[in-house]
Structure 1
C-alpha cells in the first residue's frame, strides 16, 4: 500500500469537499433532524460525502469505506477501511458559525495509518502517516511546544451524541475541568479540536465515548505531532474505530502536561 499516494488522494478529496462546503455556507443551508439525540444533517453533509466517496472509491475500489451519513460501502471485509466525516461541525454550520472541517482516515486492522483534516475557512490542511510525523499543507512539521499557563490549561471537551445529559460521569468530569482549567471549549467539531491541539493552540482534549468516525484521523494527527493520549484512568489508549463506545474515552495532551490532567481526572 502506497501511503503517500493515499495521502495525496485524501488531501485532494478533502480540499475539494472543503471548497464545496465553503461555497455552500454562503447561501441558505437546508437542515433537518438526524436521530433522537438532537443531532442534525444538512444538504452540505450529503454533497460533501458524495464527492469524498466517489474520489476514494474510484482510487481504491478494493477498500471498504465507512461514511458519517451513508455508513458502510465499498468492498467490505478487507484489511483497509476508510473513514469519512464530510462535515465535522454540522451543528455549527446550521446556526451560521464558521467552525467546521472535513476529516478522512485510512485504517488497517482498526487502527488509523493515515489521517487528514482540512479546514475550509482557513484553507489549511493537516495530515499524518503513522510513524512519519504530522505536517501542515505548507510542509511544516507539527510539534506543539509545552507552554503551561499559571491560570490553568486551555482544554477542549468532546462526547458522543448518544451520551445523555444526565450522565453522572459527564457531570463529574466537566465540573472538575471547569474548576481547574482556564477555559473548556465545546466546539461541536472534534476534528477541529484535534487540529488545534496538534498545532499547540490548546493544551489538551478530554473525550467521553467519542464518535468512532472522527476519532481516528484526529487522534493520529495529534499523536504524530507528539501529543500523548491515554484512557481516562491513565491506561493505554488506541484510536480504533471499531472499539466499543466505552473504550473511546480519553485524555490527550503534551506529555509534560499529562500527569497533571490525569491527577485532576482521577479525583472524579
Structure 2
C-alpha cells in the first residue's frame, strides 16, 4: 500500500504529534533513569517492566488520544485499546524499548511509535532519550534525521572496514536460549561478520542502520510492537528488507512472530547476507 490522500489522516500532522509525544516521553525517561525504577518481572521469559515504562506509555497514550480519539492503539504494556467502530488507523507504541538495559544501568534504549493504515505501517518515529535525537519517516516520502534534513543511506557511504559487515541481531522474547534455529543462525552470522551486536533494544539498531552506522540487521521472530517504527525508518532511508529466505518482506502487523523474521541491510550487502540466512 502506498500513501494516499484517501487516508483519513494527514500523515505529516500525525508525524508532528508522534514526535512531540515521543520526545515528551523521552524527557520523562531521561530525567528518571538512574533513580529508583520499580522493576517487576513481566512474564516467565526473564523480561521486566518498570514504573518508567508505565509512566512513559501513559503520557504517550494521553497525547495520542487527545489528537486522535477514534484511532486504535496497540501499546507494549496496555495491550489493545479499541477505537471508533470500523477505524482503520492503529498506533503501535513502545514507550521504552530496552527496559532490560535500563534495569542494569545501561543507557541503550528508545521510544518508538508507528501509525498503520489497514495494518500497513505508514509512519514511524524513533526517539533516543540519551542523546535527545529523533528520527522519523512517512511511507513513500522519505526519512528525516534529528536536524530535520533528509536521511538517506545513499548519502552515507559505507565506512571503510576490513573484513565483513557489522550487523545487529534481534529476537522476540518468546525465543528460548536453546532455540536451534536462533542458535544456528546467530552462529552462522557471527562467523561471517566483523561484529554481531545484540543491543536488546531493536529500535536503537534500526536507527543505526538508517544512519549507515551498521550494515544490516537480522531479526528472528521479532516483537511486532517495535518492528514497524524502525523498519519504515530504515526502509525510507534506503535499506532493503527481505524475509530470511529472500522473499519480499511484508510489514503488515496482521502476522504472527514466527512469520516476521527478516534481513534488513544496505542494498549492496543484501545478497551476501541472504546467502547465510536463506539456510534457516
User: Do the structures match in fold with TM over 0.5?
Assistant: yes
When the two chains are superposed, the root-mean-square deviation of aligned CA atoms in Å is 1.1
Q: How far apart, in 2, do the equivalents of 1:104 and 1:61 lie?
A: 16
Q: Does 1:85 align with 2:94?
A: yes
Q: Deviations over 1:131-167 (max 9, x none)?
A: 0000012012111235263311100000000011111
| Residue from 44, 57, 72 that aligns with 1:49 | 57
For the residue of structure 2 that corresponds to 1:19, the secondary structure is helix
Gaps in structure 1 of 5+ consecutive residues: none
| Residue from 236, 248, 259 that aligns with 1:236 | 248
Q: Deviations over 1:194-234 (max 9, x none)?
A: 01100001000000011010000000000000000000000
Partner of 2:267: 255
The answer to which of 236-245 and 141-150 deviates more is 141-150
* Correspondences of 1:31-180 after superposition (within 5 Å): 31-75=39-83, 77-144=86-153, 145-147=156-158, 149-180=161-192
Q: How far apart, in 2, do the equivalents of 1:267 and 1:75 lie?
A: 42
Aligned length: 268
Q: How far apart, in 1, do the equivalents of 2:182 and 2:235 lie?
A: 25
**TM-score in terms of structure 1 length:** 0.97
Partner of 1:210: 222
**TM-score in terms of structure 2 length:** 0.93
Give 1:235 shift: 0.2
Q: How far apart, in 1, do the equivalents of 2:82 and 2:127 lie?
A: 23
Q: Deviations over 1:99-155 (max 9, x none)?
A: 000000000111110000000111100000000000012012111235263311100
The answer to which of 92-101 and 70-79 deviates more is 70-79
1:244–1:236 Cα change, 3 Å: same
Give 1:176 shift: 0.4
Q: How far apart, in 1, do the equivalents of 2:278 and 2:219 lie?
A: 15
C-alpha contact (below 8 Å) 1:92/1:100 kept by paired residues: yes
Q: How far apart, in 1, do the equivalents of 2:209 and 2:69 lie?
A: 33
Give 1:189 shift: 0.3
Gaps in structure 2 of 5+ consecutive residues: 1-8
The answer to which of 209-218 and 160-169 deviates more is 160-169
Q: Deviations over 1:66-109 (max 9, x none)?
A: 10000011416411000000000000000000000000000011
Partner of 1:25: 33
Q: Does 1:219 align with 2:231?
A: yes
